[in-house]
Amino acid sequence: MLLKSTGSDIKLYRKLFLISSAAYFLFWFVLISVDSKAFDPIAGRGLVSLSILAAFTLSYTNKFFRNNIVIVAYILSYFLTFYYVFLLAKNNFSNIYSIGMMTILFGIAVVFKESISLLIYLSTCLISVGISYLFLENPEVKPFLYLSILLTTSLVAYLVMSIRLKIQEELSINNIRLEDAYREINEQKKIVDIKNHDITDSINYARKIQQAIVPSKTGLEEFLPESFIYYRVKDIVSGDFYWYHKYEDELVIAAVDCTGHGVPGALVSMISVSLLKQTVDIQGIHQPDKILANLQKEITSFLHRGSNDGMDIALCSVNLNKMTLSFAGAMLRIIMIRDGVAKEIKGDRFPISRNTAMNTIFTNHTISLKKGDAFYMFTDGYYDQFGGTKHKKFMYKNLEKLFLSIYDLDMQEQKSIIENTHKNWKGELEQVDDILVIGFKA
């Protein structure tokens, strides 16, 4: 019936010991002030109070008392009550002591953890009071009336404490359920963390593969000494990528924005890199519009079963010996700056995808270069970034102005300004897309 004391029991009963010890001792002064002739030795009340204080102290110093503090509390409750019944009898069940008895019943009822234990306690109190009446000749309160009042008080105390115990039981059940749910959530979290770690490791390895397939950023300077590539991925792997290939005097260079970003974009970018290499390296196609046309054919046949993925691309073929540049684009454009004047060269308004006709013809733009001409290739991630004081997009026009303000600087200095401008604009906001900006001079 009585369980071993828990940590919460120890805290509760220690508080009850302190309160009951002080209250029972101080109650003596109240009674004496009301009835100075009452039989109520302070030594007796002091003994009861000291016994309760001793139990309180031993709960700290003695393991037995600590482990069995509930049982100790029950014993002390009986001890206190029976001493008070003795005082009742000695004072002929006076009205003042009768009120005190009812107060004790209500006060001690809080000690019991189980309704059956409380019922036994209340029954014992009623029996002891009834027996006490057998030894009295002239009690102030008649036995039937007193026992009726005491019985009513006991029933109310029992009902109140039964409700409390029921609520505590339900709370305990709910706590157990919550602990089980919390434990299950923790187990699921561990599983998710492990899977997330495995997935992240896989994506990190995919990044290494993607980086191995895409040429080095610094390698472009070998063919175009005055050049830079600013490349900032949104996630671990990217849907944007750059690519270049040197063939005799021609340098083919591309800025590509594949459908999506992260893993989906990276998968499409891997396909796109392969198709670019196959078109330029293997098939030997070097004219930009022809390259895009071949990419359109290849991607239409490669991505079947309803996939609408593809790429936006800006592609240039640069010949510094002949001082010419050819450009073709699918949804992307380039900016040329000559003598402080910016000129936008637009690509065609359809992407490389299954939604575009297989035999689509792309527009080829040929430009005679002049020493110092600056060219910028880019995807939409830079100017679509939200930021600034009003959290708005950077916008294409601001990117064009940025190029105009820096085009005559050293290329690495330009890259640094482009990078810092993006960081300052973005601030604490999340990067919305992969970012790619390529700059070079004739």
Domain membership of residue 191 (yes or no) is no
pLDDT digits (tens, 9 = 90+) for 172-213: 888 889 988 999 999 999 988 888 888 878 778 777 887 778
**Quick one: 110 and 226 in the same domain?**
no
- For the chain, the farthest-separated pair of C-alpha atoms sits apart, in whole angstroms, at 134
How many Å separate Cα 92 from the centre of its chain?
69
pLDDT digits (tens, 9 = 90+) for 398-417: 999 999 999 999 999 999 99
Q: Report the chain's mean pLDDT, rounded to a whole number.
A: 88
Domain membership of residue 278 (yes or no) is yes
CA distances from 108 to 112, 115, 127, 252, 306 (A): 8, 13, 17, 92, 78
CA 54, CA 50: separation in Å to the nearest integer?
Answer: 6
The token pair that represents 368 in the structure block: 């005679």
β-strand 240-247 against 250-258: which pairing, if any?
antiparallel
- How buried is residue 354: exposed, middle or buried, by Cβ count under 10 Å (0-12/13-18/19+)? buried
* Amino acid identity at 235: D
**Quick one: 229 and 127 in the same domain?**
no
pLDDT digits (tens, 9 = 90+) for 57-92: 998 898 888 888 888 888 998 888 888 888 888 888
Domain membership of residue 189 (yes or no) is no
Domain membership of residue 154 (yes or no) is yes
The token pair that represents 287 in the structure block: 């004219």
**Quick one: 427 and 340 in the same domain?**
yes
Q: Tokens 């019985």 correspond to what residue?
A: 151
The fraction of the chain above a pLDDT of 90, given in percent, is 39
pLDDT digits (tens, 9 = 90+) for 232-242: 998 888 889 99
Domain membership of residue 140 (yes or no) is yes
Question: Which residues 6+ apart lie within 8 Å of 437 measured at CB?
Answer: 229, 230, 231, 376, 377, 378, 382, 418
Domain membership of residue 110 (yes or no) is yes
Domain of 269, in residue numbers? 217-441
pLDDT digits (tens, 9 = 90+) for 293-330: 999 998 887 766 556 778 999 999 999 999 999 999 99
Domain membership of residue 2 (yes or no) is no
Look at residues 367, 374, 369 and name the one whose alpha carbon lies nearest to residue 323.
369
pLDDT digits (tens, 9 = 90+) for 20-67: 888 888 888 887 888 888 888 888 888 989 998 998 899 889 888 888
Domain boundary among 154, 169, 184: 169
How many Å separate Cα 291 from the centre of its chain?
47
Say what the pLDDT of residue 151 is: 86
If you ran DSSP here, which 8-state letter would residue 62 be given? -
pLDDT digits (tens, 9 = 90+) for 324-367: 999 999 999 999 999 999 999 999 999 998 888 888 999 999 99
**Quick one: 370 and 226 in the same domain?**
yes
Q: What's this model's pTM, rounded to 2 decimal places?
A: 0.63
pLDDT digits (tens, 9 = 90+) for 3-16: 566 777 888 888 88
Structural domains in the chain (count): 2
Domain membership of residue 228 (yes or no) is yes
Task: Tell me if 115 sits within 8 A of 162, measured CB to CB.
Answer: yes
